Amino acid sequence: MIFASLFDVFRGKAVTIPPMDGALRPNTALDDSASEILEVSEPDNLCASAEHVFYSSGHDLMRLEGHGEGPAAAARFDAPISALACSAEGDLAVGLDDGRVIIRNGTAERSTLGPADFAGFACPTALAFADAHTLWVCQGSATHRPSDWVVDLMGKNASGSIWRVDLASRRCERVAADLAFPYGVLPDPQSGGVLVSESWRHRLLRMGGGNGAREIVLDKLPGYPARLSGGADGGAWLCLFAPRNRLIEFVLQEDAYRADMMRSIERDYWIAPALSSGAAFLEPLQCGGVKTMGIHKPWSPTRSYGLVVRLDPNLRPVASFHSRANGRRHGITSAVERDRRVFVTSKGGNAILSLPVMP
């Protein structure tokens, strides 16, 4: 082992990724056990107030109604919605792809924050209320919009930041910078800080608490983490919107090829993570993904995957729900627990799913 690494200089070091093991062992729960409660075009961010569950889909803010009824339109915006949050008091924070963050109550718009409030550029990827007057904002990048996330990832950027906004005074305070696409935020009432998913570095961080320290809570995740939400047991739900893939990690180290790819190839056909894959014949294919005897192997390397992880109150993974390479419910971007069920958006699979929560 020790001597083998001496040859890495000549033959190159093997590119490896963390395995899906332990609580992350693959299953087919998202495809087989989850019930599809709604077929929606690219549902993105779920959030729950005391009375309602909201979700975003493109420009539309929608409200999930009770049993058996279709969704109701709550609002429509002039830019795609990139993030959502509800406060306990019923306020709604809506992040838009053009950088605005709008705070509303019912149909009344209370205030709008723009890029000027966030040091010139805003990329709201996730929002969370700590209390009625405090909003946490994840800015994924200082140069790309939320919808341009793949450019930010393949450009190896780390310009994201975390902001604490005092809604009464409109004061925006940057709590952390130089993050590689923060894509989920969950307030931690004990420390007064937040739990943040740093997507391009595949880890969860805790920050913004009283002592000002930044702490790694969970790292070496086998996918790219997205939104976080609280669990009824004091734990959390973590969505991973795409899997890590050894070829993609290799391409991230191949600067000349990657630069050529980003310059000359349409984005959908890059060797890059995706919310869904396999629909277009111009997409890249890896050896293990070749269909054999009519079977697309579930273990095959893939650019898209479905994965929701349940974290216990100590933020250790205890259970996970998967849609594997041959599944359809890929690109899970958010989850929200309510009445012993967890609702999940499959942005790549165009569906909102519901899973029972085991005690």
Partner 1 sequence: MGLYSISKSGEVTRLSAETKRSWTSIVDDARLRDPNDCDIAPDGRIFFTDSTKRYDAHEWALDSIESRPTGRLLCYDPRTGKTTTVLEELRYANGVCMAHDGQSLFLAESWACSVHRYWFDGPKAGRLECVIRDMPGYPDNINRASDGTYWMAWLGMRTPSFDLALRHPGMRKRMTRRLPQDEWLFPNINTGGVVKFDESGRIVETLGDISGVSHPMVTSMREHKGWLYIGGILNNRIGRYRIPGADPEWTGPRSYWGAPG
Contact residues for partner 1, defined by CB under 8 A: 11-15, 245-247, 250, 254, 256-257, 260-261, 264-266, 269-271, 278-279, 281-294, 296, 300-301
Cα-based distances in Å from 207 to 31, 189, 332: 35, 12, 25
Report the residue number, 14 or 213, with the smaller CB distance to partner 1.
14
Q: How far is the CB of 195 from partner 1 (least distance, A)?
A: 32
Q: How far is the CB of 351 from partner 1 (least distance, A)?
A: 20
Number of other CB atoms surrounding residue 112 within 10 Å: 14
Q: What is the rounded CA–CA span in Å between residue 231 and residue 336?
A: 8
Report the residue number, 3 or 281, with the smaller CB distance to partner 1.
281
Q: How far is the CB of 146 from partner 1 (least distance, A)?
A: 24
Q: What is the rounded CA–CA span in Å between residue 207 and residue 290?
A: 43
3-state secondary structure of 126: strand
Report the residue number, 25 or 291, with the smaller CB distance to partner 1.
291
Q: How far is the CB of 333 from partner 1 (least distance, A)?
A: 25
Q: What is the rounded CA–CA span in Å between residue 322 and residue 84?
A: 24
256 burial via Cβ count (<10 Å: 0-12, 13-18, 19+): exposed
Q: How far is the CB of 187 from partner 1 (least distance, A)?
A: 39
How do beta strands 72-76 and 60-64 pair? antiparallel
Q: How far is the CB of 226 from partner 1 (least distance, A)?
A: 24
| Distant-in-sequence, close-in-space partners of 14: CB < 8 Å, separation ≥ 6 | none
Cα-based distances in Å from 343 to 130, 329, 337: 22, 13, 6
Report the residue number, 77 or 269, with the smaller CB distance to partner 1.
269
Report the residue number, 25 or 246, with the smaller CB distance to partner 1.
246
Report the residue number, 11 or 67, with the smaller CB distance to partner 1.
11
Report the residue number, 199 or 300, with the smaller CB distance to partner 1.
300
- Tell me which residue of 135, 191, 198 sits closest to 166, measured CA to CA: 135
Tokens of 95: 């992040």
| Distant-in-sequence, close-in-space partners of 44: CB < 8 Å, separation ≥ 6 | 55, 56, 57, 81, 82, 84, 333, 334, 345, 347
Q: How far is the CB of 46 from partner 1 (least distance, A)?
A: 30
Dihedral sign, CA of 299, 303, 307, 312? positive
Report the residue number, 57 or 350, with the smaller CB distance to partner 1.
350
Q: What is the rounded CA–CA span in Å between residue 29 and residue 329?
A: 10
Report the residue number, 2 or 280, with the smaller CB distance to partner 1.
280
Q: Which amino acid, one-letter code, is at 239?
A: C
Q: How far is the CB of 183 from partner 1 (least distance, A)?
A: 25
Q: Which residue has the tokens 């990724």?
A: 17
Alpha-carbon Rg for the chain in angstroms: 20
- Tell me which residue of 218, 214, 243, 213 sits closest to 228, measured CA to CA: 218
Q: How far is the CB of 294 from partner 1 (least distance, A)?
A: 5
